[in-house]
Amino acid sequence: MNTKKTAFVITLIIIVGSLSSCSFLSGNPMNKIVRPPRLEGEKQALQLAFEESVGNNVLLKSPAKGKFLSSFVTYDVDGDEEEEAFVFYVDPAADASVRVNILDKMKGDWTSVADLKGSGSSVYEIEFEDVNLDGNSEIIISWSLFDNKTTRIVSVIDFTVSDTGTLTFTARANEYFTYKELIDFDLNGYYELCVLHIDNTTEVLQPYLKVFEFTENNSVKLISELLLDPNTAAVSKTRKDIISSDGNDTARLFIDLLRSDFGLFTEVVVWSKKDSKLIRMLKNPANDTFREISLNTSDIDGDGLYEIPVIAELAGSLQKKLLSGSEETNDASYIHLIRWVSLKGAQLKNKKLTIYNPEALYLFGYNWKTNNVTVRYDQESKDVIFSKWNLKTKKYGDDLFALNYSSDVTKVLKGYTLAASGENGNYWCKIYPAGSSYGITADYISENIIPI
């Protein structure tokens, strides 16, 4: 009897416990907001002031990129040696847009001085830069859009200081962008905001490059707009350099662009001081600089100026030297001969030749006549073999040397000499008798390997 009673009591406790658990889960808990962990010290006072301003039923948001990755960002924007605070959040009771609450120290206490609605569902990046050298930093916030992973909006937020020291914040510009950067295009010592936006509302894509000037009266003014090649699908990478000619300096922007079908090409844009506007340096970049490989513009010879990679013809039975995959499918990988071209005025000039191995990710300086030496890949040994090429008979001659890459830095390849070490692996070489008579040495090979 006692045993039965005990079992009944245990069962009753389990049932009551289960019902109690169900009651805790009722009321759609997914809609409730979990308060973020309480900050400590000075940050705690900031959080309390923020919650006093907007309430505590909000969701904090953090930038996805850049130097500042916290929901609570502090920075001295007005140069008074005291930081202001920028807190990103979403109020589910209002809408899905991110807002930024701005707080300042007033008489030693944090006080909310502005609450601005953002232009997206999340924060991509926040930057601070005194672009017009007035002693105050402009606030540049990039917002990610609700359903778009490539197009974003950049907002420039400025402020004024009253006689009493109160800050008033105002959004000066909101621009769509795929790429943005602060560039001193006209080399006057002041930054301009450069944005590239691909307008897909028309039948043909229209990529616009725009430059905005930060004026003395704290406004943001469009000073030049340029339509780029319609084959543009996205930005891969950008590079900047300054070239001198006849005592005049010109800033050049190299934009490596993904083509709408496949591959890369490069637009080169400069600022014309004479006409006060942007100018494209190449008339047909999608054709002249196209390469079906992911190889970006680079200062290949270390002279401080950038060169553009273009695929050249590699002597042999096939222009492309198959590394892996199938030639009949899209998974094929090839060895290429790359012709690096510099820009002289609006003309492309040959600067350097390299072999490109996309699987081992290295370049190798090619210092021979293109009809005399070629390259092939040995599937079994995984050697990239440099050999003589007979132009008349169209046949391979003697092998000169072989390169082999190993991602295992502890592995020693028997019969090979270590030529170079990179961050992710070692480069080994084997020199054949014909290579020695050709003047090939381990030092020569080491000097010509360019890890990428």
Instruction: Provide the pLDDT for residue 382.
Output: 87
Residue 411 burial class via C-beta count within 10 angstroms: exposed 0-12, middle 13-18, buried 19 and up = exposed
Instruction: Provide the pLDDT for residue 318.
Output: 54
- Tell me the whole-structure pTM to 2 decimals: 0.83
- Domain contains 390: no
Domain boundary (148, 177, 206) is at 177
> Residue 42 corresponds to which amino acid?
E
Confidence label for 405 from pLDDT (cuts 50, 70 and 90): very high
Asked if 448 contacts 439 with a C-beta cutoff of 8 angstroms, the reply is: no
Q: Which long-range contacts (CB under 8 A, 24 or more apart) does 449-452 make?
A: 449/362, 449/363, 449/364, 449/403, 449/419, 449/420, 450/300, 450/354, 450/362, 450/363, 450/364, 450/365, 451/361, 451/362, 451/420, 451/422, 451/423, 451/424, 451/427, 452/295, 452/298, 452/361, 452/362, 452/363
Q: Is the model's pLDDT at 436 over the cut of 90? A: yes
The domain that holds 91 is classified in CATH as 2.40.128
Same domain, 115 and 232: no
- Domain contains 368: no
Confidence label for 32 from pLDDT (cuts 50, 70 and 90): very low
* Residue range 232-252: mean pLDDT, rounded: 91
Confidence label for 36 from pLDDT (cuts 50, 70 and 90): low
Same domain, 132 and 216: no
Asked if 209 contacts 196 with a C-beta cutoff of 8 angstroms, the reply is: yes
Same domain, 238 and 197: yes
Asked if 399 contacts 382 with a C-beta cutoff of 8 angstroms, the reply is: no
Q: Kindly report, residue by residue over 127-149, the tens digit of the pLDDT.
A: 999 988 888 899 999 999 877 77
Instruction: Provide the pLDDT for residue 184.
Output: 94
Same domain, 96 and 118: yes
Confidence label for 315 from pLDDT (cuts 50, 70 and 90): confident
- Domain contains 302: no
Lowest mean pLDDT among 97-106, 389-398, 404-413: 389-398
Q: Is the model's pLDDT at 23 over the cut of 50? A: no
- Domain contains 49: yes
Same domain, 272 and 187: yes
Instruction: Provide the pLDDT for residue 221.
Output: 93
Residue 307 is classified by DSSP as B
Instruction: Provide the pLDDT for residue 254.
Output: 98
Same domain, 45 and 165: yes
- Domain contains 317: no
Domain boundary (155, 177, 199) is at 177
Domain boundary (290, 313, 337) is at 290
- Domain contains 93: yes
* Residue range 194-198: mean pLDDT, rounded: 95
Give the whole-angstrom CA distance, residue 452 versus residue 442. Answer: 20
- Domain contains 334: no
Give the whole-angstrom CA distance, residue 60 versus residue 58. Answer: 6
Distances (CA, A) of 75 to 59, 70, 285, 423, 452: 22, 12, 42, 35, 36
Asked if 418 contacts 428 with a C-beta cutoff of 8 angstroms, the reply is: yes
Instruction: Provide the pLDDT for residue 11.
Output: 38
Same domain, 273 and 191: yes
Instruction: Provide the pLDDT for residue 314.
Output: 85
- Domain contains 8: no
Lowest mean pLDDT among 180-194, 358-372, 425-439: 358-372
Mean pLDDT score of the chain, rounded to an integer?
Answer: 86
Same domain, 144 and 220: no
Instruction: Provide the pLDDT for residue 325.
Output: 62
Instruction: Provide the pLDDT for residue 12.
Output: 34
Q: What percent of the chain has pLDDT over 90?
A: 61
Q: Is the model's pLDDT at 13 over the cut of 50? A: no
Lowest mean pLDDT among 147-151, 156-160, 283-287, 291-295: 147-151
Total count of domains within the chain: 2
* Residue range 228-232: mean pLDDT, rounded: 94
DSSP-based three-state secondary structure for 9: helix
Same domain, 86 and 116: yes
Same domain, 197 and 94: no
Confidence label for 126 from pLDDT (cuts 50, 70 and 90): very high
Same domain, 271 and 195: yes
Confidence label for 48 from pLDDT (cuts 50, 70 and 90): very high
Structure tokens at 232: 């543009």
Instruction: Provide the pLDDT for residue 149.
Output: 73
Domain that holds residue 205: 181-290
Same domain, 198 and 102: no
Instruction: Provide the pLDDT for residue 260.
Output: 80
